[in-house]
């Protein structure tokens, strides 16, 4: 009986992985010890509730992106540091959820935490939210560095997904330690083939991404 169960479990895993479009992978299969906390699978995000399209805490990326990320992760581990990922592939329906939420000006449950100094009606104008996201192409990732012993994120000077100048890579009002931590993340990510986004210290896209004009909408599950 136990062999039958194991075989059925094996078939279920194959079926689940086969649902991904060609060129995409579950990152855990390539980096088993990667710390993943998909914020849009939870209520700990600027909307304040789980986002459409996120049905599990499974990080999905294009195969090329996952391979490059593995190099970053292994290089950091030599310094007793690790990566923690907050978002990777993002379905278009999740972006659509953001758009609908942004138009409801009365829904500001997490404003104090994520956008205290930005009026919600200006989130599109100031480019904090857009109708298309590079995440939906599968080669963009949001992440930080954590201590290899404690698992505690390094102090980057602002929280992940904080809407404001405090999140700009070269923000001036940082302590020396915060500036060093940001530069450490930038250095390792750029070294292994990623390009950054100057207004979000956590946001990187693989150079030469395989699907530069395709926005996918399959579920994260």
Instruction: Please tell me the distance from the alpha carbon of residue 7 to that of residue 115, in angstroms, as a whole number.
Output: 49
The two three-digit tokens of residue 159, written as one number: 């929280």
To which H or E segment does residue 204 belong?
Answer: strand 200-206
Residue from 148, 155, 158, 133 nearest 215 by CA = 133
User: Which is catalytic among the residues 37, 165, 166, 200?
Assistant: 200
Q: Which residue has the tokens 């290899």?
A: 148
Instruction: Please tell me the distance from the alpha carbon of residue 116 to that of residue 133, in angstroms, as a whole number.
Output: 23
Alpha-helical (H) ranges within the chain are 2-18, 63-77, 92-103, 111-114, 176-191
200 tagged catalytic: yes
Instruction: Please tell me the distance from the alpha carbon of residue 153 to that of residue 148, in angstroms, as a whole number.
Output: 9
Give the distance from CA 138 to its chain's centroid.
Answer: 10
- Would you please indicate which residues are annotated as catalytic (active-site) residues? 200
């Amino acid at each position: 009986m136990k062999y039958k169960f194991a075989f059925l479990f094996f078939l279920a895993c194959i079926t689940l992985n086969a649902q991904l479009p060609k060129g995409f992978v579950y990152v855990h299969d390539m980096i088993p010890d990667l710390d993943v906390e998909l914020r849009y699978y939870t209520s700990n995000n600027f909307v304040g509730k789980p986002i459409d399209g996120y049905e599990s805490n499974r990080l999905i990326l294009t195969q090329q992106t996952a391979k490059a990320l593995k190099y970053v992760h292994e290089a950091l581990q030599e310094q007793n540091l690790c990566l923690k990922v907050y978002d990777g592939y993002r379905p278009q329906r999740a972006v659509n959820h953001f758009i609908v939420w942004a138009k409801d000006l009365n829904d500001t449950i997490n404003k104090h935490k994520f956008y205290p100094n930005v009026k919600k009606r200006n989130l599109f104008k100031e480019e904090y939210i857009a109708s298309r996201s590079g995440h939906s192409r599968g080669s963009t990732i949001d992440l930080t560095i954590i201590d290899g012993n404690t698992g505690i994120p390094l102090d980057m000077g602002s929280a992940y997904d904080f809407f404001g100048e405090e999140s700009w890579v070269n923000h001036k009002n940082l302590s020396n330690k915060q500036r060093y931590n940001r530069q450490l993340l930038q250095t390792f990510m750029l070294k292994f083939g990623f390009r950054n986004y100057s207004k979000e210290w956590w946001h990187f896209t693989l150079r030469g991404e395989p699907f530069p004009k395709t926005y996918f909408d399959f579920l994260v599950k």
